[in-house]
Structure 1
Amino acid sequence: MSTATLETTRVVPTPAPRTRTPRTGRVTLARVIRSEWIKLRSLRSTVVSLLATMGVVIALGLLFAGVVSGRIGGESLGIGAGSTGDPVGASLGGVQLGQLVIGVIGVLLVAGEYTTGMIRATLAAVPRRLPVLWGKTIVFGGVTMAAMLVATLAAFFGGQALLGEHGVSLFDSGVLRAVVGGAVYLTGVGLLGLALGALLRATAAAIGALFGAMLVVPGLFPLLPSSWNDAVGPYLPSHAGESFMAVTPAPGMLGPWAGLAVFAGYVVVALAAAAIMLKRRDA
């Protein structure tokens, strides 16, 4: 007779695989700024456009300084002893065209997201919305200010080298303020474009509004009665900003610091309006 031996096998349960819980965190302004910085530097067209703006400011500044000094064209246009020429203004002549480029970049930074629909993903990640606008403002404003300061300094030093003995020093009265003021002005125009892009959400409309405010309206004011021009003209955004970037503001214009205050007021009001509409409207 055989005896069946039952052997019991101890079964050791296999532990379930550990799953890594995705890291989640609050949406903070610092994280939004980091996200906007990644988007800005990864968008090749924006980087190229910023470099193009720097090139315009520097190249035209050198061209104007060369023409005014007589090194280009062979005949001086008024910089010298006893003249009323402005050597700093000649070096910063490229700012006027540069403002158009930087303004368009600011518009596209926001309006472009509305056009492609990418803004929906952005606002889904940041439901409170306002940090998106502040993040774009901080990143774009900081990058633009740094880039334009390099451009205005390069234009100034290159222009003064072309002007030779008729040039001025960076540390002469009002010169440093004017050179830095050129970068501040360009940055402000870029932020105005950004605010208009957020307000109007359409690239063509925002660019048209920016150009109208900065170029068309100031060009029409000399055609109006002189009393209107004298009373309102100095407070236009372009005229107020130019007062800050001039060593000696033109007669009838605001003083440098008053001009900066008025110009900054336009930027703040435009951004505030953009913030209000961003909260009230759907994406």
Structure 2
Amino acid sequence: MSVARAEFTKFRSVSSTAWSLLSAAILIVSFGILYAMVRVTRPPADPAGFDSVGVSLAGVQVAQLAVGVLGVLVITNEYSSGLIRTTFAAVPRRTPVFWGKAVVLAAAIFTLGLPAVFSAFLTGQSVLSAEHLDTSLGEPGVVRAVVGGALYLVVVALFGLGLGAIIRHTAGGVAAVIALLLGPQMVTGFLPTELADDIYRWLPSPAGLAITTARPDSTLLSPWTGFAVFLLYAAAVLALGAWRLRRRDA
């Protein structure tokens, strides 16, 4: 508990933390509103198949980069400043420090992400209501999709933390986050369509984002299956990061 408190103190005292969290919240809400406005000007031919929840949560896909970068910074900032040596001198076992960072990071992202995603949903639906394209929280799968948006961002941040622990360099960690979250989808675009579709749904970002869909999507895994796959990706990266912290000098 004392390690978590110390990590929370460090977390809130770094200016990049506040800027990353603020950026994520703004992106979640603003892109949801903007995309809803675009869809109102271009209403679907078949409203019955329209995914209004996905439209209002479009900002989650953009905000994932902000929280992924924050996850990297949580640990690489200490390496770049040399503070990590002081931290490990105070807690020689190292692993509690890493998991303390993970707990604090996850709590912060969920605490900020949940109200931001709900705000994006409500404001997006308000815009879509002009063309009667909106839906309510009471519809099947909607609450799960909205809460899932916040959960997805938490796992992205932990994914970034793991990569930061592995690479230990801010630029390299940020590049790895972008490459692993967005790069594989670009690569599948060069594959035959049937093969690309089969691979796409198992990639980290598409798998995790399945939980943010309220309607069945044949291109994605089922919501909880996809999220479980993404959790496995994040768990593997975190485990490798923890191993590297134990095995390598600060």
Q: TM-score range by the shorter chain?
A: over 0.9
Cα deviation for residue 228 of structure 1 reads 3.3
Structure-2 separation of matches of 1:277 and 1:235: 26
The equivalent residue for 1:35 is 6
The equivalent residue for 2:96 is 131
Cα deviation for residue 249 of structure 1 reads 4.1
Q: Is the contact between residue 243 and residue 249 of structure 1 (CA under 8 Å) also seen in structure 2?
A: no
Give secondary structure in 2 for the equivalent of 1:223: coil
Once the two structures are superposed, residues 151-210 of structure 1 have per-residue CA deviations (whole angstroms, 9 ceiling, x without a partner) of: 100000111111113211112101111111111111111111111000000111111111
Letter in 2 for 1:53: A
Give secondary structure in 2 for the equivalent of 1:180: helix
CA-based RMSD of the aligned residues comes to: 1.4
| Mapping 1:94-173, distance limit 5 Å | 94-164=59-129, 165-173=132-140
* 51, 67, 77: which one aligns with 2:43: 77
Q: Is the contact between residue 50 and residue 133 of structure 2 (CA under 8 Å) also seen in structure 1?
A: no
| Mapping 1:253-264, distance limit 5 Å | 253-264=220-231
Q: Is it true that 1:239 corresponds to 2:206 in the alignment?
A: yes
Give secondary structure in 1 for the equivalent of 2:137: coil
Give the number of the structure with larger relative contact order, counting CA–CA contacts within 8 Å between residues 6 or more apart: 2
Cα deviation for residue 116 of structure 1 reads 1.1
Q: Is the contact between residue 33 and residue 136 of structure 1 (CA under 8 Å) also seen in structure 2?
A: yes
Letter in 2 for 1:76: R
| Mapping 1:7-46, distance limit 5 Å | 30-46=1-17
Letter in 2 for 1:181: G
Q: Is the contact between residue 47 and residue 133 of structure 2 (CA under 8 Å) also seen in structure 1?
A: no
The number of aligned residues is 248
Give secondary structure in 1 for the equivalent of 2:58: coil
Cα deviation for residue 113 of structure 1 reads 0.9
Q: Which structure would you say has the larger Rg?
A: 1
Give secondary structure in 2 for the equivalent of 1:235: coil
Higher helix share: 2
Scaled by the length of structure 1, the TM-score of the pair is 0.84
Scaled by the length of structure 2, the TM-score of the pair is 0.95
Structure-2 separation of matches of 1:222 and 1:178: 26
The equivalent residue for 1:212 is 179
In the superposition, relative to structure 1, how do residues 270 and 248 fare at CA in structure 2: closer, same or farther (>3 Å)?
same
The equivalent residue for 1:182 is 149
Q: Is the contact between residue 178 and residue 244 of structure 1 (CA under 8 Å) also seen in structure 2?
A: yes
Once the two structures are superposed, residues 103-130 of structure 1 have per-residue CA deviations (whole angstroms, 9 ceiling, x without a partner) of: 1111111111111111101111100000
Once the two structures are superposed, residues 27-78 of structure 1 have per-residue CA deviations (whole angstroms, 9 ceiling, x without a partner) of: xxx0000001111112222112201210111111111112212xxxxx2332
Once the two structures are superposed, residues 241-269 of structure 1 have per-residue CA deviations (whole angstroms, 9 ceiling, x without a partner) of: 11111112421421111101101111111
Q: After alignment, is 42-51 or 54-63 more displaced?
A: 42-51
Gaps of 5+ in 1: 1-29, 70-74
The equivalent residue for 1:272 is 239
Tell me the percent identity: 42
